[in-house]
Chain A
């Protein structure tokens, strides 16, 4: 079946602009995660949605970052007033309920802030 998809695959923006990154999880997966991969910081957890529970936002680096998950499916990560240090690959992952043995990752969105 279809895997996790993310769009756009690449995004170039100017410093100070807002960006939205989209994630479509695998159908039926109840948990959805956002991670960031950058040269300086490696792979870092950002935010986690599980069903109808309040999201775990403990990894968001600043209040410029926010995320929503609509209807328990698609998620959007929004970065306001982008800074050059936001340049990274943003990865989305999902998993089905009751499974702790893996997360299924999307191909990522490469964000470049000029």
Chain B
């Protein structure tokens, strides 16, 4: 069965802390994505990666960075957390190529609170 896991379901951090959110998929997918979801705004793409060590900015990359050292793992980094980064963070993965590219598999999400 398809599986995308995220390191934490809930996380509370202080302003200025460095925060790491980890995502692992076991489907050998090429593409991985990080989104944030806020009420009334839907999902917004932060970064995505279509290969190891490759990354592309999404719609709202400011304040975030990512790392993809292995195919199955995609990390989201908040260098200095701020209160406006309090949100639900969702990781997803997909195969590349053909119509399967559109079928993204999502993890359960991490609800991050920055105080």
| Mutual binders A and B | no
Interface residues of A, Cβ cutoff 8 Å to B: none
Interface residues of B, Cβ cutoff 8 Å to A: none
